[in-house]
Amino acid sequence: MTPVLGRFLILASVFVATTGSLIAFAAGKRKSLDGLAWARRFAYGFAALMALATLTMEYALLTHDFSVSYVAQVGSREVPTWVTIVSLWSSLEGSILFWGLVLGAYIAGATWLTRKQHSEYMPFAIGTWLACGTFFGFLIAGPANPFLTIPNPATDGAGPNPLLQNHILMVAHPPFLYLGYVGMTIPFGFACAALLRGKLGHAFLKPLRVSLMLPWIFLTIAIMLGGWWAYEVLGWGGYWAWDPVENASLLPWLTATAALHSAIVMERRGVLKGWTITLVQASFLLTILGTFMTRSGVFNSVHSFTQSSIGPTILVFLAAVLLFSVVLLALRIDSLESEGKIDSAVSREGMFLVNNLIFVLLTFTVLIGTVFPLIVEALRGKQMSVGRPYFDSMVVPVGTALLFLIGIGPALPWGRATGRQALRSLLPPLITGAVVVAIGAYAGARNPWTLLTLLFGGYAAHVTLVEMFAPIRQGGAKALRRGRRRFGSYIVHAGAIVVLVAIAVSSTMRTSTEVRLDRGQSAAIGPYTVTFLDVEQRMEPNRESTIAKFSVTENGKPVTTLEPRMNQYPAMREPIGTPAVHSTAARDLYLSIMNVDTGSRSISVMMLITPMVSWIWIAVLIMGLGGVVALIPVRSPAIREAKETLPVPGEAAEA
Amino acid sequence: MKRSRLYLLLALAVALAGFAVIAGTGISKNLVYYWSPTDITHAGDKAYGATIRLGGLVSPGSVHMEKGSRLDFDVTDQHTTIHVKSTGVPPQMFREGIGVVVEGTMSRGGYFQSDRLMVSHSNEYRAPKAGETVNAKELIKTTKGIE
């Protein structure tokens, strides 16, 4: 019964999305407000059906209904209830259904928030969203159907991918990634609407910017959670390996970040409209490319659950969206007239252009390195990959330049800067940079790139903090409330500076050693002495764990006890390690079991000291927080009063 | 087209071409080949010095642990066997008969010199039955790097 209900809901959602999309485009062409109202109803309908389908799946999972194919695949009576709930995104079919739920929620939210505005653009936006909805509905109904009926259901199953059960971060990472990925559909719809409508008015910039910012926040945090998870679970002590699936999450982030910046120039100077639209479309295309890479099995890794047949389907969709975007851009880009021009390269807007250039370079660098092996394999059948040195050697200089730019951009005025203005604003922060370099060198930094990063980091931090608090000094808290967007973006910058510095320091100043210890023996690393106490086996309902106990002392004083472990899951041939990490502000001590001899009770353990690594997680959260601050709508009491008495001018002009 | 716009486009084209050259050389210098033991013997001289990920099974009875983390073992795909000298840290539960991927290069001494050792992390992969061949490509795809 449940699988039939699920299939019905999905088919209904495909029908609703298709019909709604057609109605919306027709309404856009005829400028029919009635048609738009109907398109909105279909958008809500699509969201409701996706939500119901997801609830049906959760019901099936929780009741262990093994007649549903997806439950048969990932369900198990042995696993804790929270694992059962999150099993929804533990395997391919369920994760695509979850994608549908998120897409529905985004579409409904965006439709609701724009219900009284932008009626000339909205039909095209809703039409584009629902066209994407049609595709994902089709994907769930066809190649990735989780609601197939199993004729003779078993009474129990194997359970979800053990990696999901092994660490809480693996539970949080996928939803954030989907919220980031799927959310890019909304600005894509707005961008297409501007092109189809043939104009991009000032009032329409706000929904474009807001709809880009929200998924950007989620994506930022998702990338960090992925790296953090790799660090906490995979046991090699790193957090980023330029793995294709990691790159897949980074690519749309890079273009979305570029778009957020060019959108500011567009807002201030009325230029770069076509360019911003292109970046927004590229971000959406890269999320689809990323989905193809992670979900089709072309790269098999932690992320691709199984060899599946959805690859070609996604590839066709990718090609269709690419063709649609390019043709639309080619036909309509000239209709988005520039209202101004950029006067001088040495100015705030000039720096925004350099920023965009850098982000586009980064995107191409990572894209080429990621896709090149795929192309070679497709054309010549040979398998290879592009090694890490390529990415490091390309990205490190560009990333350092970016850090420099974070410092120099906000220090320059809009319009045209005089030489003296430029010099005066750039000198004092340089002193801060020099101080930071001195501190770094004292702490042992010798790598020239690291020292350069410290210089630019200190410099950029000085500029950012001055700019962040300038409104407060000038106009107090009220000014700050009005300039919340600016304030938020400087918080993002501050976070980004810390992330870049922490990456430079943690990747160049690691020390590691690998030792074999008998019970009671100790080994020293840095200021720590690590003593191997004991190893024990523990049976848990869903796994068997080997847990080693170490006591840690720092300069003779006891600090903590660390328990790295290896978890053996019945569904997996190899054990999954869980390293133990002792994090402090200055450095992490990281213990990872390499080998256990339970007979003689001796152990091989890798010990790592990585400075500043926890700053990365914290600073990325700060970046997300800054994004949220920038998103909170500005609404001082005076403005609210004005809104109640006067029609809003922007909207009157738009309608 | 306005003249300034033309210059801008020209400058962009030159910058893009320069970038393409840099990226191209960067990629060609850092290619990592995914090969099975049989592929390596077919590659002949090309295998010396190239960065290779060699995938296969650890032959039973071939593992010799030396001092430190130095490790000697044979990697086989049931057709060809290649001797590996590894300085890489043996990962959790490295043992005989397991699917491994070693990164390194073929040395003139006729063995594979590796500084990086990975085990398959897949839950799909199972050790092959007798007579069954090993799919090195699948094996390589299911490893996650250990640095």
pTM, entire model:
0.89
Which residues, at least 6 apart from A283, have a Cβ–Cβ distance to it below 8 Å? A184, A187, A188, A212, A252, A255, A256, A259
**Taking the C-alpha atoms of A188, A305, B137 and A594 in order, what is their torsion angle to the nearest 10 degrees?**
120
The enclosing H or E element of A567 equals: strand A565-568
Distance from CA of B108 to the nearest CA of A (A): 22
Instruction: Determine the distance in angstroms separating the CA of A149 from the nearest CA of chain B, rounded to an integer.
Output: 23
Helices A92-113 & A205-233 angle (0-180, nearest 10): 150
Contact B91 A594 (CB under 8 A): yes
Chain B residues near residue A579 by CB distance under 8 angstroms: none
Residues in chain A: 655
Contact call for A575 and B53, based on CB within 8 A: no
Q: What is the mean pLDDT of chain B?
A: 75
The verdict on a CB contact (< 8 Å) between A385 and B22 is no
User: Can you list the residues of chain A whose pLDDT is less than 50?
Assistant: 300-306, 636-655
- The continuous run of DSSP H or E covering A29 comes out as helix A2-30
- Going by their DSSP bridges, the two strands A557-562 and A543-554 should be labelled as antiparallel
Among chain A, residues having any CB pair with chain B shorter than 8 Å are 161-162, 234-238, 241, 243, 299-302, 306, 361, 364-365, 368-369, 372, 382-390, 393-394, 514, 566, 571-575, 577, 593-595, 604, 606
The per-residue pLDDT for A655 is: 31
> B33-141 maps to which CATH number?
2.40.50.140
> Which ranges of A270-387 does DSSP label H, i.e. alpha helix?
273-295, 310-332, 348-380
> Is the CB of A387 less than 8 angstroms away from the CB of B89?
no
Of A300, A387, A606, the CB nearest to B51: A387
Q: Which of B5, B27, B36, B63 best tests the A interface by mutation, with the highest count of A CBs <10 A? A: B27
Name the β-bridge partners of B64: B72
The tens digit of pLDDT for each residue in B1-42 reads 456 778 878 888 888 888 888 888 888 888 888 888 888 888
What residues pair up with A316 in beta bridges, in sequence order? none
pLDDT of residue A9: 96
In chain A, the residue whose alpha carbon lies closest to the alpha carbon of B147 is A236
Q: What does the pLDDT look like over A87-120, one tens digit per residue?
A: 898 888 888 999 999 999 999 999 999 998 888 8
Residues of B in contact with A574 (CB under 8 A): 92-93, 119-121
Residue B122 confidence class, pLDDT cut points 50, 70, 90: very low
Which chain B positions have a beta carbon within 8 Å of A595's beta carbon? Answer: 90, 92-94
* Whether the Cβ atoms of residue A494 and residue A464 lie closer than 8 Å to each other: yes
Residue B2 tokens, joined: 């306005």
In B, minimum Cα distance to A578 occurs at B92
Determine the distance in angstroms separating the CA of B61 from the nearest CA of chain A, rounded to an integer: 19
Side-chain half-sphere CA neighbours of A56 within 13 A: 22
Residue in A178, A188, A84, A75 with CA at minimum distance from that of residue A127: A188
Nearest alpha-carbon partner for A45 in A126, A148, A121:
A126
By Cβ distance, the residue of A299, A302, A361 closest to B121 is A302
Tokens of A645: 């008495």
**Separation CA B110–CA A173 (nearest Å):** 45
Cβ pairs bridging A and B (under 8 Å): 97
Q: Which residue of B has its CA nearest to A579?
A: B92
How is residue A76 written in tokens? 């198990």
Neighbours of A181 (CB within 10 A): 27
List the domain boundaries for chain A: 1-160, 170-313+336-386, 514-613
Q: Is the CB of B144 less than 8 angstroms away from the CB of A301?
A: yes
Measured CA to CA, the distance from residue A9 to residue A437 in angstroms comes to 60
The yes/no answer to whether this complex scores an ipTM above 0.85 is no
- DSSP letter (8 states) at residue B96: T
Question: Could you say which of A369, A388, A514 has the minimum Cβ distance to residue B69?
Answer: A514
In this complex, do A243 and B141 lie within 8 Å of one another by their Cβ atoms? Answer: no
Can you tell me whether residue A310 is helix, strand or coil? helix
CB contact under 8 A, B93 and A235: no
What are the tokens at A106? Answer: 């985004």
d(CA A283, CA A367): 12
Residue B118 has pLDDT above 80, yes or no: no
Spans of all domains in chain B: 1-30, 33-141
Residue identified by tokens 């919220």 is A179
Residue A569 amino acid letter: Y
- The partner residue sitting opposite A594, judged by closest CB among B92, B124, B138, is B92
To the nearest whole Å, the CA of A230 is away from the closest chain B CA by: 10
Tell me the C-alpha distance between A239 and A232, whole Å. 8
